[in-house]
Amino acid sequence: ACAPPMPAIAGARWDGRFVLQRGAAPGSALGARGADAAGLRGWSGLPSVVLRGLPAIRSGGALIAVPHLGFPDAEACARLPVLFRPARPAAGLPFVPVSRIRGCIDGNGTLSWT
């Protein structure tokens, strides 16, 4: 189970694992993509159960961004970077996360630079 949504402010740590680096518009929330994740299956080959737990940013109930999927585009992802930063990592990172190289992966798996 994922943590409930929280205000999407800079430095917010959601679910003990994901940190929003820059704040979204006032009133926005950071939380799980949730049960409507099937709507983004075209953006990723990940199973629905994985998509449901990805961090998403919403404003007034409308989906603004799912940075780990590059949704809706590289520009939106660059404005709202979310890093995987668990409070107690099980191991070191085996690769450089896309957000660290200032890129975003689109629906075709292509890395876009910002």
pLDDT tens, 74-85? Answer: 898 899 999 988
Sign of CA dihedral 25, 26, 29, 30: positive
Quote the pTM value. Answer: 0.74
Which pLDDT band, with edges at 50, 70 and 90, does 113 fall under?
A: low
Provide the pLDDT for residue 25.
92
Which pLDDT band, with edges at 50, 70 and 90, does 9 fall under?
A: very high
Residues 51-82 have pLDDT tens digits of: 888 999 999 889 899 998 888 998 988 999 99
Q: Which tokens hold the place of 9?
A: 């402010």
